[in-house]
Structure 1
């Protein structure tokens, strides 16, 4: 790397930050990344992400040919065209539009009567990868430039650069540019936008879980959405991706994601950091009467891997504007947190990384006007993705955000 340049400073070690680091490393732009966790394995990273065509293109462009091949070979590829909906109690496929209050069973389904939500992204396959595997690949070669146990709480501008401020009051060496990628609680985003970037608590909650692949054999290959809309207190659904090549190997783990409308899933004491048995017990209780082809996902789940999650969303009206700072900008959930509906969050985050990384590489490092150009382009696609995610979540999670009155985090 060109050591005479002041480094690009990156706050946070999530997938958006790490992919940006990969892009800078590949283009020999010096950088320094600060992550609050003590190590790469400090937190579980198990649940699976579906990658869109745009997300795959962004990752390929940022990684370059050699690492892209490693990434692509690690991804799972599932046959099928999209989500297939199942009634959680009967186990039968249903034709269930997002706006329908009750399912209409299709027995047998007529050709073309069930139109799954399109998910294919490359080579006619649905492509996915676990967050942990993605993070591991994005970490390769970059660890020497990462400082663990460094929680970023703000920054200060200098005459010719920027410094990061840490939780203990210490400061980083001077950098040429700061990129905030610490997620929905980003202090960089709050300071940069002067509070204009807001994340709303939708009230909806979920649980992530995992089980040996043999527990999924009753479903078969595909991307499945199991729906229970019979509850008086609201809807519950589970989404999972079943790859045929791994289904008979008990040493391979598949994940699932449960989502529910507000009030159905509540961790003991409201502690969303709880993992393991508290989350597993709630998931098993909710699904105790579901169909025998579906119950093994929960009956055989690895209890210690279960975790709660809070469903949040940034402003549905779009990414706000703030006075541009030539030396500070933000990427990923720090600027456009999304609900999981539609699977847009991670794909939009890697688009940020690829765009910003390309602009920095083309400029040979920091240049005036760089952050302004990035933010102008990012606002267009990110606002569209946030709006789409929120519109799907209105039905899936029964949420409603009033930007004037809704609770922020």
Structure 2
């Protein structure tokens, strides 16, 4: 490879770190700038379900050794579809309305999904574990505590500009992968890349796997339409049979409330731990004993609030191409948790851009243009699907009014 200047990567999330791993495999120099002080600075969120497309992208991007470690870290759950359960009664939901048995009205539930991606298994991994595997071997190229606020072009490259006004060394290009609060995306697109607040709120939680024994193996969606008269509560989790008896293994669950159901104290989404855990316990206090251990035994310190956000379902907009700067992952196409599409699309970005750089052998004009042209096609379709599924499942707003702006904390 003849890259004489490093690829600068803003953000240390899964898309950025996978891209970095891809560049390392191709001997392309890079530097990752992450605003967090360390990889354990904040809770790492819920478990990600990986599609076949996502797994294929990760396998192509990683070295065979690193891929094997990643695959071994993933959980594999039997079953190919969601089991929909009424958490009040503990019984599965079927095609007949629970409120009036025998009335032949369809129950309110999302359409069935085919979840298996490999070997008839649902493959999943937590964000924290994914980040940890991708970080291995590239730690020396990650600069913690560096928050990229903008960039400036030079005659022969680009520099990242940090929140304190200092600047990075010159790179051959800059990749913005810092999520929905991306300053790079805002600057690059001329504010065309926008992320919208869809009104729904959620809570991520974890508990020892023994707390999930009452569910059995499978992927479970709990739909509570009775606790909150003005809305619904959803909770999704998957249970791997091989780990149910090991208290040292932690499983996660993700709760979503339709607009107005879940509200962090003082609208403060930086709160983690007990405030979020207490709300989760309050909302589920009338749930069936089968599910109580998920909340009674939760690891409170890992509980966190989150907003459901999404890019416009109209698709990834176009902006004047900059040969030196582009964006990946949530920075360019934020998605809701419905269908688990967001992370799988993000890793496709990383693999595609990394492959184009490796094939070029050196920095060349046209790389970012080729990447963006292909990315817009699959990412636009993914955002549209994610937005539509969230509207059906969670009752999210279809009005795109509230824009999420970049922030420093």
Q: TM-score, normalised by structure 2?
A: 0.94
**C-alpha separation between the residues in 2 aligned to 1:183 and 1:340?**
14
In the alignment, does 2:188 pair up with 1:189? Answer: no
Shift of 1:90: 1.0
Query: Relative to structure 1, is the Cα distance of residues 286 and 190 closer, same or farther in structure 2, using a 3 angstrom cutoff?
Result: same
Query: Relative to structure 1, is the Cα distance of residues 103 and 309 closer, same or farther in structure 2, using a 3 angstrom cutoff?
Result: farther
| Post-superposition CA distance 1:331-385 (Å, at most 9, x none) | 0000000110110011000000000000000001321101000000000110111
Task: Please name the residue that 1:95 is paired with.
Answer: 94
**C-alpha separation between the residues in 2 aligned to 1:406 and 1:9?**
31
Q: Where do residues 1-400 of structure 1 align in structure 2 (5 Å cutoff)?
A: 5-95=4-94, 116-230=112-226, 231-400=228-397
**C-alpha separation between the residues in 1 aligned to 2:75 and 2:260?**
34
Shift of 1:303: 1.6
**C-alpha separation between the residues in 2 aligned to 1:14 and 1:357?**
16
| Post-superposition CA distance 1:126-155 (Å, at most 9, x none) | 000111111011001111111111000000
**C-alpha separation between the residues in 2 aligned to 1:193 and 1:46?**
28
Query: Relative to structure 1, is the Cα distance of residues 282 and 35 closer, same or farther in structure 2, using a 3 angstrom cutoff?
Result: same
**C-alpha separation between the residues in 2 aligned to 1:229 and 1:104?**
14
Which SS does the other structure have where 1:95 is aligned?
Answer: coil
Which SS does the other structure have where 1:209 is aligned?
Answer: strand
Contact 2:5 2:172 in 1 (8 A): yes
**C-alpha separation between the residues in 2 aligned to 1:325 and 1:86?**
49
**C-alpha separation between the residues in 2 aligned to 1:7 and 1:64?**
20
**C-alpha separation between the residues in 1 aligned to 2:173 and 2:67?**
26
**C-alpha separation between the residues in 2 aligned to 1:407 and 1:18?**
27
For the aligned residue pairs, the C-alpha RMSD in angstroms reads 1.7
Contact 2:87 2:223 in 1 (8 A): yes
Shift of 1:117: 1.2
**C-alpha separation between the residues in 1 aligned to 2:296 and 2:318?**
48
Contact 1:156 1:164 in 2 (8 A): yes
Shift of 1:13: 0.2
Contact 1:163 1:171 in 2 (8 A): yes
Shift of 1:103: 7.2
Contact 1:95 1:105 in 2 (8 A): no
**C-alpha separation between the residues in 1 aligned to 2:301 and 2:369?**
44
Contact 1:101 1:229 in 2 (8 A): no
Task: Please name the residue that 1:110 is paired with.
Answer: none
**C-alpha separation between the residues in 1 aligned to 2:11 and 2:269?**
20
Aligned residue pairs total 397
Which SS does the other structure have where 1:41 is aligned?
Answer: coil
Contact 2:209 2:246 in 1 (8 A): yes
**C-alpha separation between the residues in 1 aligned to 2:244 and 2:168?**
48
Q: 4+ runs of 1 displaced by more than 3 Å?
A: 100-106, 405-409
Query: Relative to structure 1, is the Cα distance of residues 190 and 101 closer, same or farther in structure 2, using a 3 angstrom cutoff?
Result: farther
Contact 1:94 1:104 in 2 (8 A): no
Contact 2:6 2:29 in 1 (8 A): yes
Q: Which moved more, 1:271-280 or 1:300-309?
A: 300-309
Shift of 1:399: 1.6
**C-alpha separation between the residues in 2 aligned to 1:157 and 1:213?**
50
Shift of 1:116: 3.8
Q: TM-score, normalised by structure 1?
A: 0.94
Contact 1:95 1:103 in 2 (8 A): no
Note the residue ranges of structure 1 that are not aligned, 5 or more in a row: 107-113
